[in-house]
């Protein structure tokens, strides 16, 4: 193929493949789509081409012969067309057809699937690092259940049997509570509309989930909640924001322990949500990068670097702001500021 930074492309076939090609190629500045042809006037790609003001035709010879075309992309799937093109193409043009164009179609489909998966993994970012904690928390009650059940097979005293059965029930309840918290957290973004959300309740829920991520053993906790603090948004998304911020704070104090302060405040018609730690802090030259997707200082199995990117995306969507204040070796404070949704005590909170 001619290597120049401007490629003139003619697309033959306006079915799903042709339509996907238009959608993909029209974003690329160095590619000009000179036209698209299809015998069927109702083909979906023709409609899309008209919307984007790309010339539409039924005349293949005219399209490939008259526009200085450098690449002909044939997605008709028609062997006749392939033969015709090889016999009649302008000498300067290259042809992409047959199995090469099928491969391209597969790549396009694969890419759009990856994009959808990325969106979902953004939602789940952070949950990877929870896995070890979850396994640990689920395994403890399971070991207990196993031991009790083994005893039961030999136990003759009915009172002891009842007692052990009750212990088993408790252990099972604990395991299913862990699973319930997590399935709630990992569920796909729920479609419901924005509602009034109690920030204090979400903060406590987030703390419960963050517990699975790392040990809170050496961490002192201070909660300063203002009753009635409420914001408007998607409760699952707000939960996701708080889980990420708390998990980061706990990770920052992993080595020496410290104090985690969770604060909510109504001030000046706004709701302030503050999460502070006394951990390792963030270097001044890194502060501007922490909200970038995939920026992480953690080992690959510990962090994806999507946590804060998601936080900022969700907070922006809720018309809030995200601020960070950090000193190396002293600690970090993240402050979220939201418009106050409603005066305290009114409306239903989720
Ligand atoms: N409270 C904090 N204290 C110190 N550093 C922090 C804090 N919060 C974030 N950081 C820094 O910002 C980086 C990006 O954070 P972010 O939450 O986006 O990703 P991550 O925690 O590395 O991975 P994950 O995708 O699992 O959340 C972290 O790797 C860390 O260097
Ligand atoms: Mg994180």
Per-position pLDDT tens, the chain of length 350: 444 568 899 999 998 888 888 988 888 888 899 999 998 988 999 999 999 999 999 999 999 988 889 999 999 888 899 899 999 999 989 998 888 888 888 887 777 777 767 666 655 555 554 565 566 667 767 877 888 888 888 888 888 888 888 888 887 887 777 777 666 666 544 445 688 999 999 999 888 877 765 677 789 999 999 999 999 998 878 988 998 899 999 999 988 899 999 999 999 889 999 999 999 999 999 999 999 877 899 887 677 788 898 899 889 989 999 999 999 999 999 999 999 876 544 445 56
Give the model's pLDDT for residue 53: 92
Are the CB atoms for 237 and 314 separated by under 8 Å? yes
Give the model's pLDDT for residue 243: 86
Residue 244: which of 222, 275, 219, 218 has the closest Cα?
A: 275
CA of 128, closest atom in ligand 1: 26
Are the CB atoms for 38 and 78 separated by under 8 Å? no
Are the CB atoms for 195 and 340 separated by under 8 Å? no
pTM passes above 0.85:
no
Question: Which residues make beta-bridge pairs with 263?
Answer: 224, 274
Report DSSP state, residue 297: -
Give the model's pLDDT for residue 315: 93
Regarding beta strands 94-96 and 71-74, do their DSSP bridges make them parallel or antiparallel, or are they unpaired? parallel
What distance in Å separates the CA atoms of residue 265 and residue 8, rounded to the nearest whole number? 59
Give the model's pLDDT for residue 50: 93
The two structure tokens encoding residue 277: 């730690």
Block residue for tokens 């699937």: 113
* Distance from the alpha carbon of residue 158 to the mean position of ligand 1, in angstroms: 54
CA of 308, closest atom in ligand 1: 18
233 lines ligand 1 (CB under 6 A): no
Class of the 7-122 domain?
A: alpha beta
* Distance from the alpha carbon of residue 301 to the mean position of ligand 2, in angstroms: 12
* Distance from the alpha carbon of residue 239 to the mean position of ligand 2, in angstroms: 14
* Distance from the alpha carbon of residue 251 to the mean position of ligand 2, in angstroms: 8
Are the CB atoms for 293 and 119 separated by under 8 Å? no
Give the model's pLDDT for residue 282: 98
Are the CB atoms for 320 and 242 separated by under 8 Å? no
* Distance from the alpha carbon of residue 244 to the mean position of ligand 2, in angstroms: 5
What distance in Å separates the CA atoms of residue 137 and residue 289, rounded to the nearest whole number? 34
Are the CB atoms for 95 and 89 separated by under 8 Å? yes
What distance in Å separates the CA atoms of residue 62 and residue 35, rounded to the nearest whole number? 10
Phi-psi region of 345 (alpha: psi -120 to 50; beta: other; left: phi over 0): left
Residue 14: which of 58, 55, 45 has the closest Cα?
A: 45
What distance in Å separates the CA atoms of residue 218 and residue 254, rounded to the nearest whole number? 8
DSSP helix/strand/coil, 126: coil
228 lines ligand 1 (CB under 6 A): no
Residue range(s) occupied by CATH 3.30.565.10 in the chain: 195-339
Question: Which residues make beta-bridge pairs with 339?
Answer: 270
E runs forming strands in the chain: 7-12, 31-37, 56-57, 71-74, 94-96, 195-198, 219-224, 230-233, 258-267, 270-277, 321-327, 331-339
Regarding beta strands 230-233 and 31-37, do their DSSP bridges make them parallel or antiparallel, or are they unpaired? unpaired
Contacts of 268 (CB under 8 A, 6+ apart): none
The two structure tokens encoding residue 260: 């985690």
* Distance from the alpha carbon of residue 191 to the mean position of ligand 1, in angstroms: 28
252 lines ligand 1 (CB under 6 A): yes
331 lines ligand 1 (CB under 6 A): no
Residue range(s) occupied by CATH 3.40.50.720 in the chain: 7-122
How large is the angle between the packed helices 199-210 and 235-252, nearest 10 degrees? Answer: 50
320 lines ligand 1 (CB under 6 A): no
Query: Does CATH place domain 195-339 in 3.30.565.10?
Result: yes
Give the model's pLDDT for residue 266: 94
CATH topology of domain 127-186: Helix Hairpins (1.10.287)
DSSP helix/strand/coil, 261: strand
Largest CA distance in the chain: 95
> Which residue's CA is the nearest one to ligand 1's atom 27?
307
């Amino acid at each position: 193929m001619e290597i120049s930074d401007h490629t003139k492309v003619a697309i033959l076939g306006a079915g799903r493949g042709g339509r996907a090609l238009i959608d993909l190629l029209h974003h690329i500045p160095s590619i000009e789509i000179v036209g698209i042809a299809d015998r069927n006037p109702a083909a979906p790609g023709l409609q899309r081409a008209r919307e984007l003001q790309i010339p539409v035709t039924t005349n293949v010879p005219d399209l490939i012969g008259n526009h200085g075309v450098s690449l002909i992309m044939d997605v008709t799937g028609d062997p006749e067309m392939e033969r015709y093109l090889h016999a009649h193409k302008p000498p300067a043009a290259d042809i992409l057809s047959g199995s090469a164009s099928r491969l391209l179609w597969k790549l396009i489909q694969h890419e759009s699937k990856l994009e959808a998966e990325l969106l979902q993994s953004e939602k789940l970012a952070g949950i990877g690092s929870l896995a070890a904690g979850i396994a640990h928390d689920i395994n403890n009650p399971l070991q207990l259940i196993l031991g009790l059940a083994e005893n039961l097979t030999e136990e003759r005293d009915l009172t002891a049997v009842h007692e052990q059965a009750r212990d088993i029930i408790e252990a099972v309840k604990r395991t299913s509570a862990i699973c319930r918290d997590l399935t709630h957290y990992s569920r796909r973004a729920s479609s419901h509309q924005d509602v009034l959300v109690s920030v204090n309740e979400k903060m406590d829920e987030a703390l419960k989930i963050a517990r699975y991520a790392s040990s809170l053993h050496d961490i002192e906790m201070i909660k300063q909640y203002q009753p009635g603090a409420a914001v408007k948004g998607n409760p699952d998304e707000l939960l996701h924001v708080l889980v990420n911020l708390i998990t980061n704070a706990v990770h920052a104090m992993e080595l020496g322990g410290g104090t985690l302060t969770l604060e909510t405040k109504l001030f000046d018609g706004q709701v302030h949500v503050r999460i502070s730690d006394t951990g390792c802090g963030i270097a001044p030259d890194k502060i501007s990068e922490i909200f970038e997707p995939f920026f992480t200082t953690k080992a690959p199995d510990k962090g994806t670097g999507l946590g804060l990117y998601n936080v900022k995306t969700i907070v922006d969507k809720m018309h809030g702001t995200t601020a960070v204040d950090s000193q190396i070796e002293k600690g970090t404070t993240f402050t979220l500021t939201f418009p106050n949704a409603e005066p305290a005590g009114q409306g239903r909170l989720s």
